[in-house]
A and B are shown apart, each in its own frame.
Chain A
Amino acid sequence: MIAKLSHASIYVLDQESAYDFYINKLGFVEKMKIPIGDDAFWLTVCPRDQKEIEITLMPINRGGMFKAEVAQQLSELVKNGTFGFGVFECTDIFATYQELKDKGVVFTKEPTQEFYGVEAMFKDDSGNWFSLTQFKKEN
């Protein structure tokens, strides 16, 4: 039986810029920063109140992970907003939306009533998109 998720990866175009986005804009906390060569790091972060998960910010163009051609293709896909990472939950979406917007986060969907709660969508600095949702209490 699989008990829970411990690590998940997001492919980013620039680790330094991604670090700034996830730490200073989203307010996440750094969990691990280990050099892996080629100016790249095993860099993991987590939401402030969910310390048991590690979100790895994987550098597409560093760390020798992909051949140059693959890295180029993947970069284009990320940049063009092809990949959605997941859903982040918040206590009050209007306050969180306001805060993130004030910090310069780009939203592609304003808070909207859905059958499961209120949802907005935003992009990270690379182009990955996320749902930000305040779920209905019964969910």
Chain B
Amino acid sequence: MYKRVVEAKLYMDSHYHEKIDLNNISNQANFSKYHFLRLFKHAFGKSPHQYLIETRLLAAKKLLRENNSVKDTCYKVGFESVPSFITLFKKRENITPNEYLKKNKQVEKEKEERPLSFIPNCFVENFGWDKGGGNK
């Protein structure tokens, strides 16, 4: 039983960017839709739909950090409509994808200019990374 629910999760992990019909997944796992929903939620603490949305948003954030456009990101992670992607992203992340993209560009610029400022200074000083490595 666990194997089939885990397989369904792993399928979502690797196919989130495709059109996924959760009815088909429950059928493939040989469960009724209701039984599948219940088992999935019990196993992973969230519904398959919630899990899929979160997986797509995680992937979207990664693509935005890699400078993909909002539109490209939307379709690459499996959402079918840009406006609904933007709404969902804003609802979950409290920031629009475009704002996230801009903010990240700024952060990346700062990381290039002052990389060590992103690391707690106790580590930088103790290990001597500001002096090219401390060899303590």
Residue ranges of A at the interface with B (Cβ–Cβ < 8 Å): 7, 27, 29, 32, 34-38, 42, 48-49, 56, 63-67, 70, 91-92, 94-96, 98-99, 102
Contact = CB atoms under 8 A, between A and B. Distances in A.
Contact-residue bracket for chain B? 20 to 34
The 5 closest A-B pairs by CB, nearest first: A64-B133, A95-B43, A91-B45, A92-B43, A98-B2
A49 B50 CA distance: 13
B6 A64 contact: no
A38 B118 contact: no
B53 to A, nearest CB: 13
Given A64-B128, A67-B136, A91-B42, A34 B116 contact: yes
B2 A65 contact: no
Interface in B109-136: 111, 115-116, 118-120, 123, 127-129, 132-136
B133 A95 contact: no
Contacts of B45: 49, 91-92
Interface in B22-65: 42-45, 54, 58
Contact of A64 (B54, B115, B127): B127
